[in-house]
Structure 1
Amino acid sequence: MDGKVILLADDDMDDTEMFCEALAEIDENAICHCAENGSEALKILSSLDKNPGVIFLDLNMPIMNGWDCLKRLKSDDRYKEIPVIMISTSSHKNDMETASKLGALCYFVKPNNFNDLKEILRTITSNLQNGVNNLVQSLKDAGFKNIFVCGEK
């Protein structure tokens, strides 16, 4: 696979480490840029030569949370077409609905199991090049219990 570029914004270092390890195991060519908050994610994004194939945003982060970062991304012509996946430990229906209203591709509850995370990331990264519609369909077809696919594309 040609190097997929992913941006992850999450202030929990344990979750970030698990995410990066899972990603490295499924695709050694993937490049993951990590930020500790939404503000740092936007700075990293503006410094990249090429937009990432997908952005993962944690909801609860200091300085700029995931909601505020998502709003900024979707209001900026340079970034609004990048698929954004919201991640959180919260499984509140309100959060899932908000993610959909603000333009996120999907929302998933952080799995505690490393293998579950690997399967989610495998499904996402292996379908990135096929376009957003196919990615959404692949997530639905996979039937993950902890993923809410936002709005029909």
Structure 2
Amino acid sequence: MSQKIILLADDDKDDAEMFCEAWADIDESIVCHCAENGDEALKILQSQDKIPEVVFLDLNMPIMNGWECLKQLKLDDRYKEIPVIMISTSSYKNDMDAAANLGAVCYFVKPNNFNDLKQVLRSIALNLDNGLKEPISDLENKYLHIFL
């Protein structure tokens, strides 16, 4: 079984821990790299031999927020094709629209419940090799704002 890399940038340590714990429960072949801000996420990307299957970016982080990191990813030929999913506690339509305009594949509001988070991530994990459009569309009504 080949290893799959996920990158999460989130300054909330509890959310990041829950996120990585959910990935570990879902699939042992998934390695979750965590960054506390967008700048650190870009440094992790540059230090890795393998490009992640997907990048999750929290909107509001210190040093470099999710918006700026997303812009940097989409400007870099090495990383512009990586699917980026924006995550936040915010459900503001303007944030969702901005994420779409900047090239994120979707936006979801962080679930408060660990099982809900696992359900979202499990659907994504099962389809990392097949493209994310279908599983994200299936989750749209409950958790996500879709841009694909």
TM-score by length of 1: 0.94
**Structure-2 residue corresponding to 1:81:** 81
Give the drift of 1:121.
Answer: 0.4
Query: Partner of 2:129: helix, strand, or coil?
Result: helix
- CA distance in 2 between counterparts of 1:31 and 1:89 reads 24
Identity across matched positions, percent:
70
Give the drift of 1:73.
Answer: 0.1
Give the drift of 1:138.
Answer: 1.7
Of 132, 135, 138 in structure 2, the residue corresponding to residue 138 of structure 1 is 135
Alignment of 1:18-29 (within 5 A): 18-29=18-29
The one-letter code matched in structure 2 to 1:76 is: D
The answer to whether the 8 A contact 1:4-1:125 is kept is: no
Deviations 1:28-67 (A, max 9, x none): 1110110000000000000000100000000000000000
Deviations 1:96-137 (A, max 9, x none): 000000000100000000000001000111101012xxx122
The answer to whether the 8 A contact 2:107-2:146 is kept is: yes
The one-letter code matched in structure 2 to 1:4 is: K
- CA distance in 2 between counterparts of 1:85 and 1:10 reads 12
**Structure-1 residue corresponding to 2:46:** 46
- CA distance in 2 between counterparts of 1:71 and 1:13 reads 24
Give the drift of 1:83.
Answer: 0.2
- CA distance in 2 between counterparts of 1:16 and 1:144 reads 24
- Structure 1: runs of 5 or more not aligned: none
**Structure-2 residue corresponding to 1:13:** 13
The answer to whether the 8 A contact 1:10-1:37 is kept is: yes
RMSD of the alignment, in Å?
1.0
The answer to whether the 8 A contact 2:140-2:146 is kept is: no
Give the drift of 1:142.
Answer: 3.5
Give the drift of 1:144.
Answer: 4.5
- CA distance in 1 between counterparts of 2:7 and 2:45 reads 8
The answer to whether the 8 A contact 1:10-1:57 is kept is: yes
